[in-house]
């Protein structure tokens, strides 16, 4: 997601093409071409400009509801409801791949969580992430915390620091349970203050109560797409 | 003094050939301006950076370029019409049809026929939504506004211009 304002000017975007599985957009105001995945203008009067990233999450509707009970959800447009595919995940996975990297360790349609820190890119294979969450890692010297939500589908990435001090996090014991009670009591514990933290990255009890961890933007993507736009990406292995 | 000029029919033939060439070039230009970018930017086909640049450069110039080329084509076709036989006239008409098609398509965005934009996004309270709890959404929180965009919908529309918490954003998938 991107802000639509460049140099104080509000732009309106529309789909203008497909580029290697991502789409190209143009703005009505200048006709400049922008890359959806990078937010960068690649051709036209505003070439070289970059849109500012808006932090967003990929969550289940249920998880989002519990976090933002007053939030609004985009209404489906009546005449296009037959185009909406609620089964999109397996259906998209069947589509042909435009580019592949057979010499790499992951398969084209493997799902990864991708992020970049100071220009360094890393991909976390979803299967590995789901099994090992929470994951503590370091990219470009920055300590990270990757967390899978209590619903097993939502995810977030945080800066693993409390008040600038590096900390480790662990899943609290009963959070691992598959029972509804376990999911409800889901929380993380940090090793510095022994406070409890929720999936939004905020401390709900303990000395750090009320504090929230800084968020890191991350993208859930197919390996071939991530690797195509981040040729120097490393892959998380444990 | 050499007074031999080419006889009238020969001169006519030579002029006709020049006009035919001009016609062909204009037709090729009009057709290329639309079809080359359309060919390069097609779904499920890899686009190298150089090819993409060419496609965008052509597409940018296409609306005006195809119009000028098409008008020229029609003018040349008119000049050729009188002396053209039935076979030639059929070719002229066919070519003009394709040229017109290019000129029209160069001004339309057929990607929006495949992926219709959302004209005026409407939002529902959670209690009014029919979404299943397990469906994936993209969530944004700006200011006091919290909004969710179902991926099943954004995977079709691809881009939505919205304003959340007073901030104009582009929701993309």
CB contact under 8 A, A58 and B43: no
Q: What is the domain count for chain B?
A: 2
Whether B33 is in a domain gets the answer: yes
Q: What are the Cα distances from residue A4, in Å, to A55, A216, B94?
A: 14, 21, 44
- The Cα–Cα gap between A36 and B83 comes to 53
Confidence of residue B3 (pLDDT cuts 50, 70, 90): low
Contact list, A156 vs chain B (CB under 8 Å): none
DSSP code, position A8: T
Confidence of residue A179 (pLDDT cuts 50, 70, 90): low
Whether B115 is in a domain gets the answer: no
Contact list, B62 vs chain A (CB under 8 Å): none
To the nearest whole Å, the CA of B112 is away from the closest chain A CA by 6
Whether B114 is in a domain gets the answer: no
Quick one: what percent of chain A has pLDDT higher than 90? 76
pLDDT at residue A111, rounded to an integer: 95
B23 and B97 in a common domain? yes
Largest CA distance in chain B: 99
Whether B63 is in a domain gets the answer: yes
Mean pLDDT of A104-124: 94
B148 and B73 in a common domain? no
pLDDT at residue A66, rounded to an integer: 95
DSSP code, position A174: G
Strands A5-6 and A9-10: antiparallel
Whether B119 is in a domain gets the answer: no
Task: Please name the residue of chain B whose CA is at the shortest distance from the CA of residue A25.
Answer: B159
B155 and B75 in a common domain? no
Contact list, A75 vs chain B (CB under 8 Å): 121-124, 129
Task: Please name the residue of chain B whose CA is at the shortest distance from the CA of residue A35.
Answer: B172
Strands A120-125 and A234-235: parallel
Q: In what order do the strands lie in the sheet with A142-148?
A: A135-139, A142-148, A155-159
Confidence of residue B32 (pLDDT cuts 50, 70, 90): very high
Whether B1 is in a domain gets the answer: no
pLDDT at residue B1, rounded to an integer: 57
pLDDT at residue B10, rounded to an integer: 80
B140 and B94 in a common domain? no
Contact list, B118 vs chain A (CB under 8 Å): 77
- Better-scored residue on pLDDT, B35 or A176: B35
Whether B3 is in a domain gets the answer: no
Mean pLDDT of B136-160: 95
Both tokens of B44, joined, read 């499920």
Task: Indicate the range of A51-60, A85-94, A99-108, B53-62 predicted with least confidence.
Answer: A85-94
CB contact under 8 A, A23 and B158: yes
Residue A80 reports pLDDT greater than 70: yes
Confidence of residue A58 (pLDDT cuts 50, 70, 90): very high
pLDDT at residue B11, rounded to an integer: 79
To the nearest whole Å, the CA of A26 is away from the closest chain B CA by 11
B79 and B161 in a common domain? no
B31 and B89 in a common domain? yes
Confidence of residue B135 (pLDDT cuts 50, 70, 90): very high
Residue B72, sorted as left (phi over 0), alpha (psi -120 to 50) or beta, turns out to be alpha
pLDDT at residue A93, rounded to an integer: 78
Please name the residues in contact with A93: beta carbons below 8 A apart, sequence gap of 6 or more: A109
B132 and B100 in a common domain? no
Q: Counting one residue from A and one from B, how many pairs have CB atoms under 8 Å apart?
A: 196
pLDDT at residue B6, rounded to an integer: 59
Whether B69 is in a domain gets the answer: yes
B130 and B168 in a common domain? yes
- pLDDT tens digits, A213-226: 999 999 999 999 99
Confidence of residue A81 (pLDDT cuts 50, 70, 90): confident
For B63, the domain range is 8-108
Residue B123 burial (C-beta neighbours within 10 Å; 0-12, 13-18, 19+): middle
Residue B4 reports pLDDT greater than 70: no
To the nearest whole Å, the CA of B59 is away from the closest chain A CA by 10
Mean pLDDT of chain A: 92
- The Cα–Cα gap between B83 and B152 comes to 59
Both tokens of A177, joined, read 């349970």
Give me the helix-helix angle, B49-81 and B86-105, nearest 10°: 140
Residue B2 reports pLDDT greater than 70: no
- The Cα–Cα gap between A177 and A181 comes to 8
Torsion of CA A191, A197, A200, A204, to 10 degrees: -140
In the listed set B76, B108, B140, which residue is the last one of a domain according to the structure?
Answer: B108
Confidence of residue A173 (pLDDT cuts 50, 70, 90): low
- The Cα–Cα gap between A73 and B154 comes to 12
Residue A184 reports pLDDT greater than 70: no
B66 and B134 in a common domain? no
Global pTM value: 0.89
Confidence of residue B140 (pLDDT cuts 50, 70, 90): very high
B163 and B137 in a common domain? yes
CB contact under 8 A, A12 and B125: no
Q: In what order do the strands lie in the sheet with A56-60?
A: A56-60, B136-142, B145-150, A72-74, B123-125
In the listed set B80, B108, B136, which residue is the last one of a domain according to the structure?
Answer: B108
- pLDDT tens digits, B33-82: 999 999 999 877 888 889 999 999 999 999 999 999 999 999 999 999 99
Of B117, B121, B169, the CB nearest to A14: B117
To the nearest whole Å, the CA of A214 is away from the closest chain B CA by 14
Give the helix ranges, DSSP H, for A68-179. 88-93, 126-132
Of A4, A61, A151, the CB nearest to B148: A61
pLDDT at residue A176, rounded to an integer: 57
Q: What are the Cα distances from residue A3, in Å, to A32, A54, A192, B157, B162?
A: 16, 6, 36, 18, 10
Residue A133 reports pLDDT greater than 80: yes
Residue B14 reports pLDDT greater than 90: no
CB contact under 8 A, A60 and B109: no
Mean pLDDT of A147-169: 96
Please name the residues in contact with A177: beta carbons below 8 A apart, sequence gap of 6 or more: A183
Contact list, A14 vs chain B (CB under 8 Å): 109, 112, 117, 159
Confidence of residue A82 (pLDDT cuts 50, 70, 90): confident
């Amino acid at each position: 997601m991107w802000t639509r304002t460049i140099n104080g000017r509000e732009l309106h975007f529309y789909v203008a093409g497909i580029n290697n599985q991502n789409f190209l957009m143009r703005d009505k105001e200048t006709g400049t071409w922008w890359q959806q995945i990078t937010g960068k203008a690649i051709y036209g009067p505003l070439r070289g400009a970059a849109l500012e990233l808006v932090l967003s999450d990929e969550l289940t509707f249920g998880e989002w509801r519990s976090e933002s009970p007053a939030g609004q959800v985009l209404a489906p447009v009546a005449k296009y409801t037959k185009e909406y595919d609620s089964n999109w995940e397996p259906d998209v996975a069947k589509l042909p791949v435009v580019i592949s990297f057979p010499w790499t360790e992951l398969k084209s349609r493997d799902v990864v969580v991708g992020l970049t820190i100071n220009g360094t890119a890393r991909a976390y294979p979803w299967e590995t992430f789901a099994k090992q969450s929470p994951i503590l890692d370091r990219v470009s010297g920055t300590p990270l915390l990757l967390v899978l939500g209590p619903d097993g589908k939502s995810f977030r990435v945080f800066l693993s620091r409390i008040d600038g001090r590096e900390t480790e996090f662990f899943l609290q014991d009963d959070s691992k349970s598959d029972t509804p009670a376990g999911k409800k009591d889901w929380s993380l514990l940090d090793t510095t203050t022994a406070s409890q933290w929720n999936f939004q990255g905020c401390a709900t009890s303990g000395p750090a109560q009320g504090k929230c961890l800084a968020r890191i933007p991350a993208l859930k993507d197919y390996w071939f797409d991530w690797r195509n736009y981040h040729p120097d990406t490393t892959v998380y292995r444990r | 003094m050499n007074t031999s000029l080419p006889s009238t029919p020969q001169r006519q033939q030579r002029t006709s050939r020049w006009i035919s060439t001009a016609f062909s070039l204009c037709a090729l230009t009009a057709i290329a301006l639309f079809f080359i970018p359309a060919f390069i930017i097609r779904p499920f086909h890899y686009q190298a950076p150089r090819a993409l640049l060419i496609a965008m450069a052509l597409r940018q110039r296409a609306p005006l370029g195809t119009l000028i080329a098409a008008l020229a084509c029609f003018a040349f076709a008119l000049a050729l019409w009188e002396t053209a036989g039935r076979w030639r006239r059929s070719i002229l008409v066919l070519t003009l049809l394709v040229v017109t098609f290019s000129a029209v398509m160069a001004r339309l965005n057929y990607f929006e026929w495949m992926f219709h934009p959302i004209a005026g996004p409407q939002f529902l309270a959670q209690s009014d939504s029919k979404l299943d709890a397990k469906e994936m959404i993209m969530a944004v929180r700006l200011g006091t506004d919290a909004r969710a965009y179902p991926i099943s919908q954004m995977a079709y529309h691809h881009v939505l211009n919205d304003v959340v918490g007073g901030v104009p954003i582009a929701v993309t998938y």
